[in-house]
Structure 1
């Protein structure tokens, strides 16, 4: 049975801005809902799947769960399939029915493709994939030494350019720090999960004519800043600096190709290059409106499909 909070808010998850723990079995997941209410069953709900280690604080600012939830057992591997089964159960318990539009950032792009393969275009109306390649770029293990005692977020400009308030920024750091155990459990499954998802979706136009936006944030720009910082301050060994310099030679090109591969999932897809200070892997922290623009484009595609079928369907979509 759902927890008391789940029962109380089942209808409200699609109507109000609220957050809390939702019991889905042996453990609970934290869910945050925000934005305008769904006024029709035909109106898609937008589901954001953060990358590895990310939380809702990355995306919608401040979010605090009351109480504690038991974590999944370490023996229960957090594969992409397991994560998507949990998400499906979470949406079911919370009463957030399809159609869904999913936004997947970084490793979240693997998860939303698994979710699409699991549910099909009948339930998934569209996707926005943000800086997520079909194969994650392998970076030299030594690259963090180029930062020395300065944080990655400072070096790549996230601290300077963030749109979050100081309180929201503190919450983000706190949430991500408390998420370390889950990250460790999930990290061990990333490669196997990615390989399996790639095989599931290869050569298949699973979204059909549902819109797909792929936003390429050019992560190599971030690591060029890390490299320059290391060189300027003499951080890391010469070998560590050379290893990252060598990786940067073709990183942008390789990432471009590996992200364009998503486009075949839909007959209605587009590829967006980041510009200026939006060229950062964690673009949601500095220019979230750019991702919102892509969500609106996907939703507009669904709206047009509904308008074409309005006479037959007899439903309302706003």
Structure 2
């Protein structure tokens, strides 16, 4: 990738060694990196074996930054501008009906968090944006137009914010005086409601910012649809690897793999419930508890502390939601 200046935010791929170990890259196989970002997983996979990789990314900034990696690996890396829920179409456009592995790193990247102009973080003042694709309604649009009940539901459902109603009520009052357009303005309002953090406590606006980011980018719906797409796309023996960073994401992945391996019954709010006879397990879970970073990694990269890698191997049973 293009050489970074000292001020350029650096993204460190979490659980990189574990991802490569569990994916087992092999010559002649084809993989999907559904969340290209800074290209950390993509580079490691391509360096591990003489394989093909289809990398998907919806952030225009990350796409532009990945062109050097495309050139470095010649015809082995295809970078596709899209959302990872459309991985079947991305693979088809590259000439593949099935692949041998899918890797997903869910959530926001360090590059996005550390750029004030993207509006993802309350630590640096910037426009209240949060759009990964730079398209569609922004977080400011949601904060300034959603009614109080909808705002409260967003904060509670996607941020697990227990005082969502008090925050929503205060936001509606504040925007009546002036639109809330910056990250600092939003963080200050939440802090007035919840009070300042003490000691090692998280910043009081953490859950509010998480909720708005997830809502604006439809992150949980994207994840649900991507898991179903990977099920359809993976060959028998193919590997599905998902790295998550908070409980909402991890619960979706855990339940999907449990359901598809025959451990639990259930459905998804984003997908229709399977109809007809009982399905044969379409995945085998590799590690029921998942893989977590060791102390060395969390000391070097504090953002890795909440990460968890879950892995499933595709069986030869039909996909439950065949397209």
Q: What TM-score do the two structures reach when normalised by structure 2?
A: 0.28
| TM-score for the superposition, normalised by structure 1 | 0.29
Higher relative contact order, chain-length normalized (CA < 8 Å, sep 6+): 1
**Greater helix fraction, Structure 1 or Structure 2:** 1
